[in-house]
Amino acid sequence: GRVLEPACGEGPFLRAFREAHGTGYRFLGVEVDPRTLDLPSWAEGVQADFLLWEPGEAFDLILGNPPYGALGAGARLSPERRKAYRERFATWWGRYNLYGAFLEKGVRLLKPGGLLVYVVPAGWMVLEEFQRLRAFLAREGALEVFYLGRAFPGLKVRAAVLRFRKGGKGLRLYDAEALGQGHPPLLLLEEPAWQGEMVRFPHEEALTLEREGLPLGEVFRIHFAARSPEVKAHPLTQTRPGPGLVPVLTGRNLLPGEVDYETPHSGLYFPKEAAGLLKPFYATPHLVVGHTRHYRVVAAWDGQAYPWREEFHLLPKEGVRLDLEALVAYLNGPEIQAYYRGLYREVVPHLTRPMLERLPLPKDLVSAR
Ligand SMILES: C[S@@+](CC[C@H](N)C(=O)[O-])C[C@H]1O[C@@H](n2cnc3c(N)ncnc32)[C@H](O)[C@@H]1O
């Protein structure tokens, strides 16, 4: 068979594979940087951008540790190159990420029945910008995910090994967090009809809460705050305090069950009475839920309707009645923290909109008139 390592450098995966499985293969590595391309004589090295490379042949096995990093606005990438990538990758979405493109490219280069094994960051399991990638993987083959958690020393990012068989079907999720302590991967979940939905960990109590509760997204309209550039560019924004002005609030002003209206963390000020001109939903008191609280849910009621620069802003839908105090206590309470950790572990440090939409509310805290 034909074995390929993309972004190979010195070819650590080719070397390890040959050590374990013998010499009866043809080995090939692709590396964009000529200074790091350094393969042994039994392997063929190609100097190329793997994402633009067209070998004219397909592979039995593709393995490696693709590079990662956002590719969208702000990335160190020439506009020409970004355009070339964007045109080639059907799974491109939002800011996307190098490893998403490496996955799509790898799958496309596989023979039918061929196998791809990558170690990648785990964010694709839940983030919206990988929705297309998940659907693509579900369409193209059978996927096994070995969740490693904190696998790259010194890096915050959580990792997973993907084993993808082109032409099969379904998803299997394994817990491999204790691999380093000598525990074999444990099969957690089998979804033969997986179509690319978020990959969540099965957690009995969490799923019971979802079955019995009302999804937050059915009760509230969920908005995201005005982004920093939007706030800064607004003609009413000031950089000094003054009459009628209040601090533009950030995540640091959001405490469990409480908003700190005083500390000017953003260094920006806005006329209190005009908050609704920044975003219409700031004009009425509403629920604020933290976006990045490192695996916690933090919520408070903004009764004073301030201007914000961060976090999710939730307005009750028409006709909904809430037991506000109990609702805020519930969202900050241990049950919801266990729900969140149970389903999403530490795959990403933020609470995304789809996660928030599904978060279950006990029916006695909410009633529709
Ligand atoms: C093994 S990968 C990634 C390791 C680690 N996950 C990271 O993100 O830093 C690093 C290698 O990928 C190579 N590389 C990066 N982009 C590439 C591309 N588009 N095509 C081929 N090789 C690439 C780099 O030159 C480097 O040798």
Q: Read off the pLDDT of residues 120-168 as tens digits, 9 standing for 90 and up.
A: 999 999 999 999 999 999 999 999 999 999 987 888 899 999 999 999 9
Share above pLDDT 90 across residues of the chain, in percent, rounded to a whole number: 91
Dihedral of the CA atoms 161, 167, 173, 174 (nearest 10)?
Answer: -60
| CATH number, position 44 | 3.40.50.150
CA 255 – ligand 1 centroid, Å: 40
Backbone angles phi, psi at 257, to 5 degrees: 80, 5
pLDDT at 70: 84
Task: Answer for the pair 246, 273: CB distance below 8 angstroms, yes or no.
Answer: no
Q: Check whether 313 has a pLDDT greater than 80.
A: yes
Regarding the beta carbon of 68 and ligand 1, being less than 6 Å apart is answered yes
Q: What pLDDT does residue 6 have?
A: 98
- What residues form DSSP beta bridges with 262? none
- Do 67 and 193 fall into the same domain? yes
Last residue of a domain, one of 199, 232, 266: 199
Give the residue from 170, 174, 199, 206 showing the smallest Cα distance to 188: 174
- Is the same domain home to 231 and 315? yes
Whether the CB of 318 sits within 6 Å of ligand 1:
no
Question: What residue's CA is closest to ligand 1, atom 6?
Answer: 67
- Residues 191 and 169: their CA atoms lie apart, in Å, by 9
Active-site annotation holds for 68: yes
**E strand or H helix at 113, and its extent?**
strand 110-121
Beta-bridge mates of residue 27: 3, 43
Enclosing H/E stretch for 326: helix 324-332
CA nearest to 291, candidates 314, 270, 307: 314
Are 3 and 61 a contacting pair, CB within 8 Å? yes
What does the pLDDT read at residue 366? 87
> Of 354, 308, 339, 303, whose CA–CA distance to 324 is shortest?
303
User: Is the beta carbon of 91 within 6 A of some atom in ligand 1?
Assistant: no
Residue 276: CATH number of its domain: 3.90.220.10
**Which residue's C-alpha comes closest to atom 27 of ligand 1?**
9
Give nearest CA residue, ligand 1 atom 18.
49
Residue 66 bears catalytic tag: yes
Number of structural domains (the chain) is: 2
pLDDT at 95: 87
Question: What is the average pLDDT across 238-254?
Answer: 97
Can you give the pLDDT at residue 189? 97
How confident is the model at residue 69, as a pLDDT? Answer: 87
Q: Is 136 found in the same domain as 50?
A: yes
Same-domain pairing of 164 and 302: no
How far from 227 is each of 65, 187, 197, 248, 251, CA to CA, in Å?
A: 33, 41, 28, 11, 12
Do 278 and 325 lie in one domain? The reply is yes
Alpha carbon nearest to ligand 1 atom 4, residue? 67
- The string of pLDDT tens digits covering residues 50-73 is 999 999 999 999 999 999 988 876
CA of 159 to the centre of ligand 1 (A): 16
Q: For the chain, give me the number of helices (H) and strands (E)?
A: 11, 21
Closest CA to 300 of 359, 255, 261: 255
pLDDT greater than 70 at residue 74: no
Instruction: Measure the CA–CA gap between 44 and 39, rounded to whole angstroms.
Output: 7
Shared domain for 152 and 97, answered yes or no, is yes
Percent of the chain with pLDDT over 70: 98
- Residue written as token pair 């998403």: 100
Q: Are residues 136 and 191 in the same domain?
A: yes
Contact 77, 86 (CB under 8 A): no
- Is residue 159 located within the same domain as residue 257? no
pLDDT digits (tens, 9 = 90+) for 229-242: 999 999 999 999 99
**Nearest C-alpha neighbor of 175 from the set 165, 166, 164, 184:** 184
State the number of CA atoms in the 13 A half-sphere of 23 facing the CB.
4
Residues 153 and 209 in one domain: no
CA of 270 to the centre of ligand 1 (A): 44
Q: What is the mean pLDDT of residues 219-237?
A: 96
Nearest to 52 by CA among 4, 99, 105, 16: 105
* 27 catalytic residue (yes or no): no
Going by pLDDT thresholds of 50, 70 and 90, the confidence category of residue 36 is: very high
**CA nearest ligand 1 atom 10, residue:** 67
236 and 192 in a common domain: no
Whether the CB of 32 sits within 6 Å of ligand 1: yes
- For the beta carbon of residue 193, count every other beta carbon within 10 angstroms: 9
The last residue of one of the domains, among 156, 173, 199, is 199
Q: Are 29 and 84 in contact (CB under 8 A)?
A: no
Q: Identify whether residues 316 and 363 lie together within a single domain.
A: yes
Question: What mean pLDDT do residues 221-236 have?
Answer: 96
From the list 280, 283, 90, the residue with the least C-alpha distance to 196 is 90
The verdict on whether 65 is a catalytic residue reads yes
Domain boundary residue, one of 137, 165, 199: 199
Any idea which residue has 């609280």 for tokens? 293
Dihedral pair phi/psi, residue 18, rounded to 5° = -65, -40
14, 30, 37, 50: residue to mutate for ligand 1 pocket, most atoms within 8 A of CB: 50
Averaged over 182-201, what is the pLDDT?
97
Q: Look up the domain containing 238 and give its range.
A: 205-368
Identify the weakest region by mean pLDDT among 3-7, 49-53, 101-105, 321-325: 321-325
- Joined together, the tokens standing for residue 298 give 């933090």
209 lines ligand 1 (CB under 6 A): no
Run of H or E including 10? none
For residues 88 and 11, state if they share a domain.
yes
Catalytic residue, chosen from 66, 247, 316, 360, is: 66
- In this predicted structure, the answer to whether residue 368 has a pLDDT above a threshold of 70 is no
> From ligand 1's centre to the CA of 181, what distance in Å?
28
- Dig out the tokens for 236 from the structure: 């009413």
List the residue whose alpha carbon is closest to atom 3 of ligand 1. 67
Point out which residues pair with 300 in neighbouring strands: 288
Map residue 149 onto helix, strand or coil. Answer: strand
